[in-house]
Amino acid sequence: MKRVLAGLLVLAVVLSTGALAGCGANNTTSKGSEEKVTLKVYNWGDYIGEDVIKKFEEKYNINVVYDTFSDNEVMHTKLKSGGGDYDVAIPSDYMIKRMIDEGMVKKLNFENIPNYKYIDDSFKNLGFDPKNEYSVPYMWGTVGIIYNKTMVTDKVDSWNILWNDKYKKQVFMLDSQRDSIGITLKKLGYSLNTKKMEELENAKEELIKQKELGVVQSYVGDEVKDKMIMGEAAFAVVWSGDAVFMKRENPDLEYVIPKEGSNLWFDSMVVLNNTQHQKEAELFINFMCETDIAFENADYIGYSTPHTEAKKQMSPDLLSDIAAYPTKEQIKNCEVFEDLADSIRDYDRIWTEISAK
Amino acid sequence: MNRKWVSYPYFVWMLIFIIIPSLLILFYAFTVRDEQGIRFTLDNFYKFCEPIYITVLLKSLGLALFSTFVCLIVGYPVAMILASKQFSRSTTLSMLFIIPMWMNFLLRTYSWLTLLEKNGIINAILSFFNLPRLDILYTNTAVVLGMVYNFLPFMILPIYTVLMKIDGKLVEAAQDLGGNSLTVFSKITLPLSIPGVMSGITMVFMPAVTTFVISKLLGGGQYTLIGNFIERQFIQLSDWNFGSAISMIMMIFILISIGIMSKFDEDKGGGAALW
């Protein structure tokens, strides 16, 4: 008797949650046409102008649910495991390639995105989306070294400076296996997309050496911004847009792209495959490419815009800042990340070995 | 009959949030997914036997044991002070230990980050008095400090509850028979408080061995502990099978430690009643 009752109860709970979930789904699909549509957007944290979402909601009478992530892998895992039913996401290059390969994104109807014409041609048809069918560029940038001019006398133009034992506990590395191993590969003159075990082993030795020299203070994430502004260390490996922000807060800081080359990256907008609102999603992407909006975004977050008209409105100071807009010459050795497929396991192994030392 | 009814919601709760997830972990741990589909295998466990992964495991166990030990050394005297009849401010003191727990533990750990920084508050005060600087952020010391700070109440409270329950007459009898305070402590108080000590150790050791936030923030990513490693398998590599296998290994370790603890804890369950 007891078991039967318990069984019934479980059944009741399962059914009711199922029914609830069903209702939820219905709300967003069938009612959509009569009532306000809800668009779910998934973007990096702190990566959009402050009023942009509000302006979009008012202009088109669409509700926006806006969520953020802290790295590409977290986003991928969440979408892959069926979480969130988002309509629009803004991942980076290699992740877009993986998502295209896995069939997670939809082909765009560019007739609904006329503002695409403002995107600089050099940002179209990039390696991760060669025919440019799936993505619209949002921001781009580089990875480089930010350093405090008051604490460094040497010339900073190479990754080697991060291995100089004169600077004990003065370096913040990125707590991201792909980036930290990537810049080490560049330092050694390899490609940062290498899958060759020998080259990866060399990079591992190099990173272990760096750790044993005692120059690394720690491997950090977003907190690096506060730390560098407060002068907690002389060097940090950072993304270019963060460098623009840090330089604004502390004028002693300077950003360089090392001569050996670095990572050049693009974050682009995509529409996810299970969307029920492709038209609204494309409307959103088009809105993000309006000149005023693109300017507002780029001005607020400090990253570099691929939008030709918005770029013209930028202040001359920013346009001449290599952190924001490096010249072709400065990025000639830079590479874009490619999806590593199964080699990410080798990278993780190496990273474990480094951090287990 | 009425009583049984009361337990059903709890049973359902356990089923959904404990039993089913555990079975899922078990399933993932013993399978891999490849081109041919899902198949059963022990590969995930073999993979873990590589030296680097064992190093990570030993390091986590070592740090957790050390933190537990520090908690015990610090916590036991505090529990004794709290329990002693002469001490009139015990409510105030126990409130001081409990109030920080009202705040989210992540926030508390983040605040240590600001306190310990090179140009942080502690160093500002030290240098104001011309004292040597404290450079422990991003070291083992900082990680242990974070663990002890966060888990100390879990050690104090069970010991305190057990000490409160000790019959004062036993202590008086021992004193009447001529035992000095050291003898009374080692023959009466300590043996009677062992159940509390054991549940305290379990309560501290379990979260300490699996933490990944404290080691990530205060260790500055220089230390991969087993918790960080499991997190990475799930989030960075989407290798749920290997991640589950390591989780299983951790669960076995925890079950063993609970098994050992409960050997000591047989008489009454003591402090565990509080938790």
Q: State the CATH number of the domain containing residue B256.
A: 1.10.3720.10
Residues A206 and A273 in one domain: no
In Å, how far is A298's CA from the nearest CA of chain B? 28
Q: Supply the range of the domain harboring residue A294.
A: 32-140+265-319
Residues A146 and A270 in one domain: no
Contact B238 A76 (CB under 8 A): yes
Q: Which of residues 4-23 of A touch B (CB under 8 A)?
A: 5-6, 9-10, 13
Residues B197 and B66 in one domain: yes
Q: At A65, which amino acid appears? A: V
Residues B25 and B138 in one domain: no
Residues A205 and A346 in one domain: yes
This prediction's pTM:
0.80
Residue A347: inside a domain, yes or no?
yes
Contact A352 B239 (CB under 8 A): no
Residues B151 and B256 in one domain: yes
Q: Supply the range of the domain harboring residue B126.
A: 50-274
Contact B221 A220 (CB under 8 A): yes
Residues A192 and A293 in one domain: no
Is the CB of residue A252 less than 8 Å from the CB of residue A232?
no
Residues A151 and A191 in one domain: yes
Q: Is A94 among the annotated ligand-binding positions?
A: yes
B24 neighbourhood in chain A, CB within 8 Å = none
Residue A170: inside a domain, yes or no?
yes
Residues A135 and A165 in one domain: no
* Probe site for chain A from B52, B54, B113 (most A CB atoms < 10 A): B52
Residues A197 and A254 in one domain: yes
Residue A290: inside a domain, yes or no?
yes
Closest chain A residue by Cα to residue B48: A349
Residues B31 and B76 in one domain: no
Beta bridge partners of A119: A307
In Å, how far is A15's CA from the nearest CA of chain B? 13
Residues A146 and A169 in one domain: yes
Instruction: Give the count of domains, chain A.
Output: 2
| One-character DSSP codes across A258-307 | -TT--BEEEEEEEEBTT-S-HHHHHHHHHHHTSHHHHHHHHHHH-PBP-B
Q: How far apart are CA B244 and CA B209, in angstroms?
A: 16
Residues B247 and B158 in one domain: yes
- Each residue of B18-76: pLDDT tens digit? 999 999 999 999 998 877 788 898 989 998 998 888 989 999 999 999 999 999 999 99
Q: What does each of the 357 residues of chain A score in pLDDT, given as a tens digit?
A: 445 445 544 444 444 444 444 444 444 444 444 578 999 999 998 899 999 999 999 999 999 999 999 888 889 988 988 777 899 999 999 999 999 999 999 999 999 999 999 999 989 999 899 999 999 999 999 999 999 999 999 999 999 999 999 999 999 999 888 999 999 999 999 999 999 999 999 999 999 999 999 999 999 888 899 899 999 999 999 999 889 989 999 999 999 999 999 999 999 999 999 999 999 999 999 999 999 999 999 988 889 999 999 999 998 888 888 888 998 888 889 999 998 888 888 998 899 888 877
Chain centroid to Cα A206, Å, comes to 26
Residue A124: inside a domain, yes or no?
yes
Q: Is A55 touching B (CB cutoff 8 A)?
A: no
Q: Is A227 touching B (CB cutoff 8 A)?
A: yes
Residues A250 and A304 in one domain: no
Q: How far apart are CA B187 and CA A335, in angstroms?
A: 71
Residues A168 and A296 in one domain: no
Residues B182 and B268 in one domain: yes
In Å, how far is B13's CA from the nearest CA of chain A? 9
CA atoms within 13 A on the CB side of A81: 11
Residues B117 and B19 in one domain: no
- Which residue in the set A74, A219, A351 is minimally distant from B220, CB to CB? A219
Contact B224 A80 (CB under 8 A): no
Residue A126: inside a domain, yes or no?
yes
Residues A239 and A99 in one domain: no
Instruction: Give the count of domains, chain B.
Output: 2
Q: Is A220 touching B (CB cutoff 8 A)?
A: yes
Residues A336 and A292 in one domain: no
Q: How far apart are CA A89 and CA A268, in angstroms?
A: 8
Q: Which of residues 178-217 of A touch B (CB under 8 A)?
A: 211, 216-217
Residue ranges in B137-225 assigned as alpha helix (H): 140-165, 168-176, 181-184, 190-210, 213-218
Residues B109 and B172 in one domain: yes
Q: Is B137 touching A (CB cutoff 8 A)?
A: yes
